[in-house]
Amino acid sequence: MVNSKTCPLNESKPHIPMNYINMAIDKIRQDNTKKLNCIWLETSSCFGEIIALLDGENPSIVSLLTDMVNMTFFNSIMADSGEAAYERLLNTVNSNEPYIFIVSGAIPLKDEGRYTIIANYKGKVITALEAVRSFAPKASYIIAAGTCTTYGGPTAARPNVSEAVPLDRIIDAPVINVPGCPVHPVWILGTIGHIINFGMPELDELNRPVTFFGVTIHERCPRRSFFDYNVFATSFGQPECMFKLGCRGPITKTTCPLNRWDESDSWPIGANTTCIGCSAPGFPDLMEPFIRY
Ligand code: SF4
């Protein structure tokens, strides 16, 4: 039986993204390179990106905050609050220094964006819609973190009462799309690591970094040999290919089989459940039903 423990790809776990991250940290430490300012703006989502980032061990959020960037604004984890927090954001944008602008969440359009308010400043309500329109154009790099930001995701799923849309529908600037529900911390920190080392990463036709989104899960799946020999699981818990149970691995491009989650062997197929295509365009509406019997 081929499983995640015996998969030869296990040996090559997340080398490339970790190299980007470690090289970036070394570069900043050794060259005394000034860290780029970074704004992480949470808009309309479940905040899964933040939970995943907080749960990540290698790389950890500590690496991001202490060794990679100068994080000046981050809704969920910053110490400042209220107008002081918003002023830190404004100061970063108006400083004329380069900054990375990371957005996690879709952008509601209905009622002029009032379904997601990110600040009340000097008596004025600031919507996510207004914020991304104001802060994205001056950014050196714009990263859409998570499937809600890249494609609309669960936030824009039927019936989409807030009329939410992905970030690149709002702004007229290059966006690096890093999908995932939630996005894996390695993909986000690896993208930042690439920016620090080499600048803009190579992107595919959907503006995703090819390092993380160039190959389908299906091509690297430990159960692939079962698929090739037409041996399929008929219920969960069986070790064979789960294609006939509805697996979306053949149309979902991520490095899940290599990176796994939470510093463990845990990932959907490794845990005997189908890939539900959480990183694919159209998730969740176009990926349903998640399970077929
Ligand atoms: S269909 Fe799913 S379980 Fe089967 S080999 Fe492809 S990714 Fe793996």
Digit-coded pLDDT (tens) for 200-234:
999 999 999 999 999 999 999 999 999 999 999 99
Which residue did the predictor score with more confidence, 195 or 60? 195
Tell me what the mean pLDDT of segment 98-114 comes to. 98
Report whether residue 7 contacts ligand 1, using a CB cutoff of 6 Å.
no
Q: What is the pLDDT of residue 264?
A: 74
What is the C-alpha separation between 257 and 222, in angstroms, rounded?
A: 8
pLDDT of residue 143: 98
pLDDT band at 101 (very low <50, low <70, confident <90, very high): very high
What was the pLDDT predicted at 160?
98
Ligand 1 centre to CA of 114 (Å) is 41
Q: Are strands 117-121 and 124-127 parallel, antiparallel or unpaired?
A: antiparallel
User: What pLDDT, on the 0 to 100 scale, is given for residue 280?
Assistant: 98
Topology match between the domains 12-211 and 217-287: no
**CA 75/CA 39 separation, integer angstroms:** 9
pLDDT above 50 (res 148): yes
Tens-place pLDDT, residues 229-283: 999 999 999 999 999 999 999 999 999 998 888 767 789 999 999 999 999 999 9
Q: Report the SS3 class of residue 115.
A: coil
Q: What is the pLDDT of residue 11?
A: 41
Domain ranges in the chain? 12-211, 217-287
Q: Is the CB of 258 under 6 A from ligand 1?
A: no
How does the average pLDDT of the chain come out, rounded?
92
CATH class for the region spanning 12-211: alpha beta
Ligand 1 within 6 A of 269 CB? yes
What pLDDT is recorded for position 15?
60
Instruction: Find out whether the peptide bond into 137 is cis, omega within 30 degrees of 0.
Output: no
In whole angstroms, give the CA distance from residue 225 to residue 229: 6
Q: 11 C-alpha vs ligand 1 centroid, how far in Å?
A: 20
Gap from CA of 173 to ligand 1 centroid (Å): 36
Tell me what pLDDT residue 12 has. 44
In short, whether 250's Cβ falls inside 6 Å of ligand 1 is yes
pLDDT band at 4 (very low <50, low <70, confident <90, very high): very low
- Where is pLDDT greater, at 63 or 145? 145
- 288 CA → ligand 1 middle, Å: 17
| 218 CB within 6 A, ligand 1 | yes
- Report whether CATH 4.10.480.10 matches the domain 217-287: yes
| pLDDT tens per residue across span 50-61 | 999 998 888 889
Distance in Å, CA 219 to ligand 1 centroid: 8
pLDDT band at 91 (very low <50, low <70, confident <90, very high): very high
The pLDDT of residue 58 is 80
Ligand 1: nearest atom to the Cα of 227: 5
CB of residue 221 inside a 6 A radius of ligand 1 = yes
Task: Specify the pLDDT at position 8.
Answer: 37
φ, ψ dihedrals at 127, nearest 5°: -85, 160
Task: Judge contact between 178 and 144, C-beta under 8 A.
Answer: yes
| Position 9 confidence tier, pLDDT thresholds 50, 70, 90 | very low
Q: Taking a C-beta distance cutoff of 8 angstroms, is the pair 33, 94 a contact?
A: no
The three-state secondary structure class of 47 is: coil
pLDDT band at 5 (very low <50, low <70, confident <90, very high): very low
**Cis omega before residue 98 (within 30°)?**
no
Q: Are strands 99-104 and 141-145 parallel, antiparallel or unpaired?
A: parallel
